[in-house]
A and B are shown apart, each in its own frame.
Chain A
Amino acid sequence: MSSIQSSLDRPQVEEARFSFSSHLYDWVSTVDHKRLGLMYIVTALLFLVIAGIMATVIRLQLAFPNGHVVDPDTFNRLFTMHGTTMVFLVGMPFVAGLSNYLVPLMIGARDMAFPRLNAFGFWIFLFGGFLLYFSYIGGSGLSGAGSAPDVGWFAYAPLTSRAFSRGASTDYWILGILVAGIGSIASAINVIVTTISMRCPGMTFSRMPMFVWVMLIDSWLIIIALPPLSAAQIMLLVDRFMNGNFFNTQNGGSAVLWQHFFWIFGHPEVYILIFPAFAILSEVIPIFSRKPIFGRPAMVGAVAAIGFISLGVWAHHMFAVGMTSWSNTFFTASTMLVGIPTGIKIFNWTATMYGGKLRLDTPMLFCCAFLFQFLIAGLTGIMLATGPFDWQLHDSYFVVGHFHFTLVAGLVFALFAGMYYWFPKVSGRLYNEKLGKWHFWLFVIGVELTFVPMHFLGFLGMPRRIYTYAPDRGWNFWNLLATSGLIFQLPATLLFVWNVVHSAIKGKIAGDDPWDAWTLEWATTSPPPEYNFETTPEVHSSRPLWDLKNPNDPDWRFE
């Protein structure tokens, strides 16, 4: 299955024979989905580190009452930039990067449907990120020296109006995200069209890998849910630059309308972010259990149901706004309903593992941890969905604990699982399994230490987004415990970076299919050649490589 490879397909480290500038030109001008996918993911990881440093400073400030590590304005900018970066500059590029790299390979295609649109999407996303961070230099507020936005990642009106957010820092928030959002929408349209129009012969929709299904539905959510954010941001620009009245409460505008528009985007957004985790789990768990995914049609149906219902739950972020009891009850109901298909997925993943032969390597360890963590996160979600309970928990550290559980103990765990799983395919080499396990255990301990205490802080009445607190509120111990998790998370992350970099250079050669897997990306070399497949594959079931390896028991007999 090996093919002649040009050196350009090898990881960058072997560029001794080529000049740096020609190599750079190749990468900057590329339209190859694999390279763009990698660029998305590497950029996302860089922003993850930056936002992680911000989180470290936040936790240091909150470790003790009456902290003086940073002043209030700096703290407020830190949590705003931390949240904004994590959602838009880490989560979204991971969505784009994973789908761009893997979808064409998994459907047996040569590239995405619109390669140049793909490149455009990446570069405009990157530009949006630069715009946001340029605010540190260019955002001068009253105090003169430039500053980043400090309005929180959901930027409620009228705090974001000219009257209460002077200078340009909020404008950088608006423009940076608006521009990056265009990239997300472009990438999403690309994924949808690729999935519809570029599948290899025999790959009907029902034979598409679970990963592709999930990313397809994810892309649908993006093209429907991102425009409301763009619209609201354009309206805010009209308010700020043209004295418009969309959210101007002095002239009849409604601050609540911003919340409605934002959360109509914002809630589907969190599902947009978590879907890659579902996608990764649905690929890794079957391979490491040596069994097909349990209940494929139900799994696809569950993802579709989550996507659809998630468009109707947004006001559970607004239970304290004073909506009518009818509205509050409706959104309590819809939010609880969306938890059901998610639960079904957890059951199906477990059933996939049941009766299998579980190979507990690093990707699978992260998947197992995800199952427990996401179960907890989902259940704390049910608590938050209960309107009256939410009246206490809303805007408290309980919410912070909940969404960090879903995103760190959920999404990030799954992303690590995926990165370890596909590392051999992307780099052509095997990572160090022992280091991987160390990374896993250190990181899990750190995450539990940091985010479990936050739930208790919520019960004890600690609100979010406060730069300090008095020593007599009973919050000291849990805050210190939360900060102590950093002791484990930081070395864990360093281990991961070392493992990736070192193995990419010196790891054992992986071969085409080191995991004995069943989807098409493992049917070509590691890393794949620029054209992906020597001949266009033809498939007859959802596990084409299983069929090839098990000619006496092929899937197409049952499907």
Chain B
Amino acid sequence: MRSLTLLVSALLALPAVAAELPENHITNIFKPLATPAESEKSIALLVFAITGFIFVGVAGLIAYTIWRYRQPSGVHQHEEPPQVYGSNQIEVAWTVLPILIVFVLIGVSARVIAAVENASPPAAALKVTIIGHQWWWEVLYPDYGIITANEIHVPATPDGKNATYLQLQSADVIHSFWLPQLSGKTDLIPNRTNFMWIDPREPGIYVGNCAEYCGTQHANMLLRVVGQDPKSFKAWTIEQQRRAVDSPNAAEGGAVFQSLACVNCHNISGLGQASSGSKFGPDLTHLMLRQTLGSGVLKNTPENLRAWVNDPQVAKPGCLMPSMKLTPDELTKVVAYLETLK
């Protein structure tokens, strides 16, 4: 019992540790922090070089032509310049050269496409299933039996050998998974499973957005990936696998949670039902371990949590969680209960 308490309090300290991770808010695709984004940057630089070269050459030619042959306006010239109709050699030259350039680009693209798309996961790789909902992310770790939402923890892998393989599905409309510094995007499409992989090199927090318009709150369907060193990641998985801790002084709130409609949409393991997957809304079992609420729209603080439960439509108008019109007393009890969900 004592060691369990020690373990629990040690684990409770973890969110603070997570908060000390560097947060990458400026998601510049030219500052990649994982292999797919890295190779996409390399090909981008090649394309920049080629198109930059073309631009300088052609724009220079156009600018020179305009400057050299301009006449003062409004004056009608009486003598027409030599009437040149064309030149077959020139036409051939400036057709063949672009074709050659394009073939180079096609070849390089083919190589990168194959490298990113056809990479197959090694047997021991971490597999995460992401299911898109309007307007939140359901996150499953099938090998660990973990169900969570919106915040995805993966091991950071400096040598690139511990990539995380994502399986992408959707419960309703098309969404898209985009963390610019980790990888290009892949869509989540209903009735279809897509695959991608990420390998964040350093521990840190990576943010992104849903990148396919999916309705009213598409703008606030934010992504949060927490890359952790292997030990922290393991500890996190153990935490996530626990059922909800039933703290005695939140029993009332738990009863409120069950008696009101909350339990119709949200699953909390340890509330007496089998953990059978998220329902209509995110799994709340370890809500307090998440840094944000409402898939990134609010920081997870006590005031914000209270405001959110009271009326989610204020922070995220149009989202599918209605205000349950709780009395202040019911609200206090439910929020107190939620705050025990670590």
Chain A interface (Cβ < 8 Å from any Cβ of B): 71-73, 76, 150, 152, 156, 158-159, 163-164, 249-250, 252-256, 289-292, 294-298, 320-322, 324-325, 328-329, 332-333, 336-337, 339-340, 343-344, 346-347, 350-351, 353-361, 368, 371-372, 375-376, 379-380, 382-383, 386-396, 433, 459-461, 463-469, 472-474, 516, 550, 553, 558
**Is there an interface contact between B25 and A361, defined as CB atoms closer than 8 Å?**
no
CB atoms of B215 and A164 under 8 A apart: yes
- A347: B residues at CB distance < 8 A: 58, 94
Measured between beta carbons, the chain B residues less than 8 angstroms from A344 are: 91, 94-95, 98
Choose among A298, A340, A469 the residue that contacts B98 (Cβ–Cβ < 8 A): A340
Q: Which of B268-313 contact A (CB under 8 A)?
A: none
User: Using Cβ atoms and an 8 Å threshold, which residues of chain B touch A333?
Assistant: 106, 109
Q: Of the candidates A346, A356, A388, which one forms a contact with B109 in the assembled complex, judged by CB atoms under 8 Å apart? A: A388
**Chain A min CB distance to B65 (Å):** 5
For residue B80, which residues in chain A have a CB less than 8 angstroms away from its CB?
Answer: 290-291, 357, 550
Residue of A nearest to B196 (CB): A322
Enumerate chain B interface residues (CB-CB to A < 8 A). Answer: 25-30, 36-37, 39-40, 43-44, 47-48, 50-51, 54-55, 58-59, 61-63, 65-66, 69-71, 73-74, 76-77, 80-87, 90-91, 94-95, 98-99, 102, 105-106, 109-110, 112-114, 116-118, 134, 168, 172-174, 176, 178, 180-181, 183-187, 189-192, 194-195, 207-219, 317-318
20 sampled A-B residue pairs with Cβ under 8 A = A156-B174, A164-B172, A254-B191, A255-B173, A295-B85, A354-B65, A355-B69, A356-B81, A375-B58, A375-B59, A376-B55, A382-B51, A392-B40, A395-B212, A433-B74, A460-B27, A461-B181, A466-B218, A473-B207, A474-B28
A289 CB contacts on chain B under 8 angstroms: 69, 81
Give chain A nearest CB distance to B243 CB in angstroms.
Answer: 32
Instruction: Give the Cβ gap from A487 to chain B, nearest Cβ, in Å.
Output: 26
Q: Which residues of A contact B66 (CB under 8 A)?
A: 353, 358, 360, 368
Inter-subunit contact A322/B192 (CB<8 Å): yes
How far apart are the CA atoms of A311 and B40 in the complex, in Å?
Answer: 27
A325–B118 CB distance below 8 A: yes
Does A343 contact B194, Cβ atoms closer than 8 Å?
A: no
Shortest A241–chain B CB gap in Å is 20
CA distance A201 to B78 in the complex (A): 31
User: B81 and A294: CB pair below 8 A?
Assistant: no
Chain A residues, CB < 8 A from B168: 322
Query: Given A292-B83, A388-B113, A466-B218, are A322 and B189 also a contact pair (CB < 8 Å)?
Result: yes
CA distance A464 to B51 in the complex (A): 24
Q: Are B25 and A386 in contact (CB under 8 A)?
A: no
In the assembly, what is the distance between CA of A249 and CA of B187, in Å?
15
Name the residue on B nearest A259 (C-beta): B174
A440 shortest CB reach to chain B, Å: 12
Contacts of A383 in B (CB 8 A): 44, 47-48, 51
Nearest-CB residue, chain B, relative to A474: B26
Query: In the assembled complex, which residues on chain A have CB atoms less than 8 Å from the CB atom of B118?
Result: 325
Query: Quick check: B47 and A389 within 8 Å, CB to CB?
Result: yes
Residues of B within 8 A of A382 (CB): 47, 50-51, 105
Which of the residues A250, A357, A361 comes within 8 Å of B81, measured between beta carbons?
A: A357
